C-alpha cells in the first residue's frame, strides 16, 4: 500500500461527497443548500439565522466569495479542503480544529486480476471464501435492510447507517448495488456500494454476523465488488472514510479490514478557513 496526499491524487479521481449527484441530493434532503462549483459542489447552512457555515471538501478551485454572497451567505465561516493544490491563496488560514474526515483509500482497477494488489492476508481469505459453499446475491433494498436489521453488530450507528442507505437507494436506485452472502440457509453479511461519476464506486455500508468470519464472507463481498466494478468499466474503487483521531475506537476493526484491499492510503490532514462578513 502506498501512502499519498491530495497533491498525488490522479486528476480523474472524483470524491463522491463532492461529485456524486446522488450525494448532492442527499445533502439537500438533510436540509443543506448545495452550491455547484468547478470540480463538484459544496454546501451551506444557516445557524439560527444569525451565522452561516459553508464547506467545500476536496474541491480544487478556491470557493468564490462573491458567488456565495449573491446566494445570501454571510456573515459566516467558509471552510475549504483543497483537492490537490499545495499552495493556498492569501486570506486563508489553517483550521485549528478537525472539520473533516482526514483518511480514506482507494484501488485502481486495471486488470481482471485486481486481487493481486491485495495483501497476502486478503488473498488467502479470498481463496477460503471461494472454496466455501457460500453464495453472493445482489438483492433489493428491502431485502438488504431486513438482513441488516436482523444482524447483531458491535458498532453504535446501525440505525443511522440503515437510514443513510435507505435514503441513498431512494435517490439513486440504479447506482446503489446491494450484495449479501448466504450461508447455511441465512444471510451472514452484506455490502452496499454507490457507483458514480462514470468511473468510480464508493463503499456505503456493510454488516457481518459472527458466522461470517469462518468463511471470510467480508472478503467475498469485497471480491464481488471489485469483480463487478472491473466488468462495468469502473476505474476507482473507493473505501470512503477510514478511522482517524476524531472517530470512535469501534471503527478501527473495519478500517484495518479495508486496508487489506487498498492500493493507496489517502490523507487530507488540513483544512482552511476564512470569515465572510
pLDDT (mean) for 238-256: 77
pLDDT in tens, 195-246: 999 999 999 999 999 999 999 999 999 999 999 999 999 999 999 988 776 6
Q: Which domains does the chain have, with CATH numbers?
A: 2-102+268-276 (no CATH), 104-266 (3.40.630.30)
pLDDT (mean) for 83-93: 91
Structure-block grid coordinates of residue 90: 492569501
pLDDT (mean) for 25-38: 95
Separation between Cα atoms, residue 78 and residue 100, nearest integer Å: 13
CA separation (Å) from 268 to 5, 38, 101, 129, 200?
6, 20, 8, 34, 19
Query: For residues 189 and 210, is the Cβ–Cβ distance under 8 A?
Result: no
pLDDT (mean) for 18-27: 96
pLDDT in tens, 117-134: 999 999 999 999 999 999
Residue 254: predicted pLDDT: 79
pLDDT (mean) for 134-147: 98
Separation between Cα atoms, residue 107 and residue 238, nearest integer Å: 7
pTM of the model: 0.93
Amino acid at each position: 500500500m502506498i501512502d499519498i496526499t491530495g497533491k498525488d491524487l490522479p486528476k480523474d479521481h472524483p470524491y463522491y461527497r463532492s461529485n456524486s449527484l446522488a450525494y448532492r441530493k442527499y445533502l439537500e434532503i438533510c436540509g443543506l443548500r448545495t452550491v455547484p462549483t468547478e470540480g463538484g459542489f459544496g454546501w451551506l447552512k444557516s445557524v439560527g439565522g444569525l451565522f452561516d457555515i459553508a464547506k467545500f471538501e476536496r474541491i480544487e478551485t478556491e470557493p468564490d466569495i462573491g458567488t456565495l454572497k449573491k446566494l445570501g451567505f454571510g456573515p459566516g465561516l467558509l471552510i475549504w479542503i483543497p483537492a490537490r493544490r499545495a499552495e493556498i491563496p492569501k486570506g486563508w488560514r489553517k483550521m485549528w480544529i478537525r472539520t473533516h474526515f482526514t483518511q480514506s483509500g482507494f484501488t485502481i482497477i486495471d486488470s481482471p486480476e485486481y486481487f493481486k494488489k491485495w495483501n497476502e492476508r486478503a488473498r488467502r481469505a479470498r481463496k477460503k471464501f471461494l472454496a466455501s459453499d457460500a453464495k453472493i446475491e445482489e438483492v433489493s433494498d428491502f431485502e438488504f435492510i431486513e438482513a441488516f436489521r436482523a444482524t447483531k453488530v458491535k458498532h453504535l450507528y446501525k440505525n443511522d447507517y440503515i437510514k443513510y442507505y435507505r435514503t441513498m437507494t431512494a435517490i439513486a436506485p440504479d447506482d446503489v448495488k446491494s450484495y449479501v452472502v448466504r450461508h447455511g440457509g441465512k444471510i451472514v453479511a452484506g455490502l452496499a456500494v454507490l457507483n458514480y461519476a462514470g468511473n468510480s464506486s464508493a463503499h456505503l455500508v456493510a454488516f457481518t454476523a459472527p458466522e461470517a468470519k469462518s468463511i471470510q464472507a467480508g472478503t467475498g463481498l469485497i471480491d464481488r465488488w471489485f469483480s463487478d466494478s472491473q466488468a462495468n468499466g469502473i476505474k476507482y474503487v473507493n473505501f470512503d472514510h477510514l478511522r482517524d483521531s476524531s472517530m470512535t475506537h469501534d471503527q478501527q476493526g473495519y478500517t484495518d479490514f479495508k486496508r487489506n484491499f487498498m492500493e493507496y492510503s489517502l490523507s487530507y490532514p488540513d483544512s482552511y478557513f476564512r470569515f465572510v462578513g
